[in-house]
């Protein structure tokens, strides 16, 4: 009997979060954008795991945009740095979500 071997891949996700009590975002910010690298069998699983982990961290995910795997991004011509590739490799090795960058949002007056 052949057992199907599932292949984890790393997906690049941009997650927009709103404010939530004890979220650790800067005072005065209205939310933030988080660049994440998440492992999963498919993008849907990577999104579910990322949202679950962010909620555990007292963040309030509002929207997730997927940018695909490393191979998909390279095929689209994205310029991907060695640092970014290393973070992707870490997410794959640890079967985890790596938050690579956080950009807070502020209201303009």
Q: Any idea what DSSP says for residue 21?
A: T
Q: What is the pLDDT of residue 62?
A: 96
How confident is the model over 21-68, as pLDDT tens digits?
888 999 999 999 999 999 999 999 999 999 999 999 999 999 999 999
CA angle 92, 67, 105 (to 5 degrees): 100
Comparing CA positions, the residue from 48, 42, 50, 102 lying closest to residue 72 is 42
Count of domains for the chain:
1
Question: pTM for the whole thing?
Answer: 0.89
The single-letter DSSP state of residue 58 is: T
Q: 84-98 burial, b if ≥16 CB within 10 A, otherwise e?
A: beebbeebbeeeebb
Domain that holds residue 85: 9-106
Q: What is the DSSP letter of 28?
A: T
Q: What is the pLDDT of residue 91?
A: 96
Which pLDDT belongs to residue 6? 62
Provide the 3-class DSSP secondary structure of residue 86. Answer: helix
Assigned domain for 2 exists? no
Per the CB < 8 A criterion, the answer to whether 29 and 4 are in contact is no
Neighbouring C-beta atoms of residue 45, cutoff 10 Å: 16
């Amino acid at each position: 009997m052949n057992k199907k071997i599932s292949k984890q891949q790393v997906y690049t996700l941009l997650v927009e979060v709103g404010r939530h009590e004890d979220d650790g975002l800067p005072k005065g910010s209205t939310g933030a954008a988080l660049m994440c690298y998440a492992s999963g069998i498919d993008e849907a699983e990577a999104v579910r795991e990322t949202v679950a982990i962010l909620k555990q961290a007292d963040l309030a995910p509002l929207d997730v945009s997927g940018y695909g795997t490393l191979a998909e991004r390279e095929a689209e011509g994205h310029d991907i740095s060695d640092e970014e590739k290393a973070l992707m490799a870490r997410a794959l090795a640890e079967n985890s979500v790596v938050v690579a960058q956080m950009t807070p949002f502020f209201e303009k007056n």
